[in-house]
């Protein structure tokens, strides 16, 4: 997942696969532009980032989010410094990628709801949806996030065992 300052994004956002050597950008907390292969090599020794390297390192092409000005994100590794959020950020774009579509939808819905709670005035709790267009699979076109509710039953004992607490039904 990545969070971006929407006002720093230019044009349409595209998700595509590119050769690592063709992906050039300044990543978060870096001082210079690098290509994606160099970033993967750099993060192999990073205590936090190295767990994401195996998702990319042997692939011929890497997933990448771009806009008209270049790279926004190299998921699941790192975002671009160009679109990072700051204290001045007014509008946030959230991108989520995953191998499990349902988990990605849930993650996005939770993040969107949490961020919307920090909005002010008439925009409080406002979430705008985006239209996702699949060039090669139009049947997968969608609007996201869906923000639909799903009711389900769960045992209190299960919740307590997962959270390490002792709730009761009341």
pLDDT tens column, 43-55: 999 999 999 999 9
Which homologous superfamily is 8-82 in? Phenylalanyl-trna Synthetase, Chain B, domain 3 (3.50.40.10)
Kind plus residue range of the DSSP H or E element containing 96: none
pLDDT at residue 93 is higher than 70: yes
Whole-number Å distance between alpha carbons of 74 and 71: 8
Which is higher by pLDDT, 145 or 60? 60
- Which pLDDT does position 63 carry in this prediction? 96
pLDDT at residue 124 greater than cutoff 80: no
Say how far apart CA 102 and CA 87 lie, in whole Å. Answer: 31
In the beta sheet, which residues pair with residue 130?
144
Q: How many residues does the chain have?
A: 170
pLDDT of 31 above 80: yes
What's the gap between Cα 96 and its chain centre?
Answer: 3
Domain boundaries, the chain: 8-82, 98-170
Q: How confident is the model at residue 94 (pLDDT cuts 50, 70, 90)?
A: very high
pLDDT at 8 over 70: yes
| Whole-number average pLDDT of the chain | 91
């Amino acid at each position: 997942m990545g969070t971006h300052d929407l006002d720093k994004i230019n044009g349409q956002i595209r998700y595509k696969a590119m050769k690592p050597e063709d992906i050039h950008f300044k990543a978060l907390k870096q001082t210079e532009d690098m290509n994606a292969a160099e970033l993967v090599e750099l993060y192999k020794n990073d205590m936090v980032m190295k767990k994401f390297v195996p998702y990319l390192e042997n692939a011929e092409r890497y997933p990448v989010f771009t806009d008209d000005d270049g790279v926004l994100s190299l998921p699941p590794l790192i975002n671009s410094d160009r679109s990072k959020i700051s204290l001045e950020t007014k509008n946030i774009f959230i991108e989520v990628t995953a191998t499990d579509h349902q988990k990605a939808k849930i993650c996005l819905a939770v993040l969107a709801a949490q961020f919307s709670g920090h909005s002010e005035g008439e925009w409080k709790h406002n979430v705008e949806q985006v239209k996702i267009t699949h060039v090669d699979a139009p049947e997968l076109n969608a609007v996201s996030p869906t923000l639909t509710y799903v009711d389900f039953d769960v045992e209190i004992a299960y919740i307590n065992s997962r959270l390490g607490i002792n709730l009761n039904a009341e």
